[in-house]
C-alpha cells in the first residue's frame, strides 16, 4: 500500500497519529509512506523513526526550489496548492497507485477496501461530502462549469491512478486555470473543475466522514449513521474545518475525545 501526504513542520505529529491509526486498524502489511516536503522541513528524523516503529517505509519527497517556476504564485495561491495535483511529477515512476490523505484524519477501520477499489480508467476516487440539500453542489457546478461531474469532491482523501494522471494532467492547464479564475479552495476547485468527470465517487460516510456532521448523516440516512454505526463501519474520520481536535480545550464534537486518545497513544509510542 502506497500512502501520500504533504505537510510542513506544524503537522508531523498529526501525520504520525494518522499512521498509527492505520497501523492499528488496517490489514495491510507492507506500507510505503511518501511525504512531500520542502527543503526547510526539520522533522524527517521523527517521521522516519515513527515509520520504523510501525513497520512502515518512509520516503521523503522534497520539492526542488525550481519547481513551479512558471506557476502563478501569490499569498492567496502558494506553491503548496500544487503539491497533490502534481505529485506524480515527483513520485517514482514505478508507482501506479497511491492514496493521498490529509493529516487531520483518523483511520478507524480497514483501509484496504478503499485502496483496492477498481479505478478502471478513472484518474481518482474521492467522496462528495453529504449535505441535507444539493444546493452547494449546484452552486459549485455553476461556479466551476463542470456539469458532467457528480458533485463537488473533497480532496482530503484521494485515491490516485498515477498512470491515468500522468497521461491526462498537463501542468500548464492547471497554471492557466488558476490565472484565469478566482478560486475559493484553490487545489480542490482545480481538481473539480478540470478533472471532476474523471473521479470515481466513493461513499463519504465510509471513506471521508466529516466529523462535524454526525447529526446530518444520521438525519439523511434516516437514523442509520448513528455513533455506533460509524465506529463499526466508517473507515476515515476527517476532522474538517477550523476547530481541530488537537487544539481543542473542550469537546467540540463527538469525535474530539477519540482523536485525543489516538494522539496521546501516538505520543507515548514515539517516546518509548
pLDDT of 49-97, one tens digit each? 999 999 999 999 999 878 888 888 877 667 888 899 999 999 999 999 9
Give the CA angle between residues 114, 193, 204 to the nearest 5°: 30
- What gap in Å lies between CA 218 and CA 239, rounded to an integer? 17
Q: Where are the chain's structural domains?
A: 2-271
Whole-number percent of the chain with pLDDT over 70? 90
Q: Is the pLDDT of residue 105 over 70?
A: yes
Handedness of CA 245, 237, 105, 243 (dihedral sign): negative
pLDDT band at 145 (very low <50, low <70, confident <90, very high): low
Fold of 2-271: Spore Coat Polysaccharide Biosynthesis Protein SpsA; Chain A (3.90.550)
Supply the pTM of this predicted model: 0.91
57 beta partners: 32
Q: What would the grid cell of residue 216 be? A: 446530518
pLDDT digits (tens, 9 = 90+) for 199-247: 999 999 999 999 999 999 999 899 999 999 999 999 999 999 888 999 8
Can you give the pLDDT at residue 149?
Answer: 47
pLDDT (average), residues 162-172: 96
Q: What would the grid cell of residue 158 be? A: 484521494
* Contact in structure between 221 and 194 (CB atoms under 8 Å): no
| Best-predicted range by mean pLDDT (73-77, 157-161, 193-197) | 157-161
pLDDT band at 272 (very low <50, low <70, confident <90, very high): confident
Amino acid at each position: 500500500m502506497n500512502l501520500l501526504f504533504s505537510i510542513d513542520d506544524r503537522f508531523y505529529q498529526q501525520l504520525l497519529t494518522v499512521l498509527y491509526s492505520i497501523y492499528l486498524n488496517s490489514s495491510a502489511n507492507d506500507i510505503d509512506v511518501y511525504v512531500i516536503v520542502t527543503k526547510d522541513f526539520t522533522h524527517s528524523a521523527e517521521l522516519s523513526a515513527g515509520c520504523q516503529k510501525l513497520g512502515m517505509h518512509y520516503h521523503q519527497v522534497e520539492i526542488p526550489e525550481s519547481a513551479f517556476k512558471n506557476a502563478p504564485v501569490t499569498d492567496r495561491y502558494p506553491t503548496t496548492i500544487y503539491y497533490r495535483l502534481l505529485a506524480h511529477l515527483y513520485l517514482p515512476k514505478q508507482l501506479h497507485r497511491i492514496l493521498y490523505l490529509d493529516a487531520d484524519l483518523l483511520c478507524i477501520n480497514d483501509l484496504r477496501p478503499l485502496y483496492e477499489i477498481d479505478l478502471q480508467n478513472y484518474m481518482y476516487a474521492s467522496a462528495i461530502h453529504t449535505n441535507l440539500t444539493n444546493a452547494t453542489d449546484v452552486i459549485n457546478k455553476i461556479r466551476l462549469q463542470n456539469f458532467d461531474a457528480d458533485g463537488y469532491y473533497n480532496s482530503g482523501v484521494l485515491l490516485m491512478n498515477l498512470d491515468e494522471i500522468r497521461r491526462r494532467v498537463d501542468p500548464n492547464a492547471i497554471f492557466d486555470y488558476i490565472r484565469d479564475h478566482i478560486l475559493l479552495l484553490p487545489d480542490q476547485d482545480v481538481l473539480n473543475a478540470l478533472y471532476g468527470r474523471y473521479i470515481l465517487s466513493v461513499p463519504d460516510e465510509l471513506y471521508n466522514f466529516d466529523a462535524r456532521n454526525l447529526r446530518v448523516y444520521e438525519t439523511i440516512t434516516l437514523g442509520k449513521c448513528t455513533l455506533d454505526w460509524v465506529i463499526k463501519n466508517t473507515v476515515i474520520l476527517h476532522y474538517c474545518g477550523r476547530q481541530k481536535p488537537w487544539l481543542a480545550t473542550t469537546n467540540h464534537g463527538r469525535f474530539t475525545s477519540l482523536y485525543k486518545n489516538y494522539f496521546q497513544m501516538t505520543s507515548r509510542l514515539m517516546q518509548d
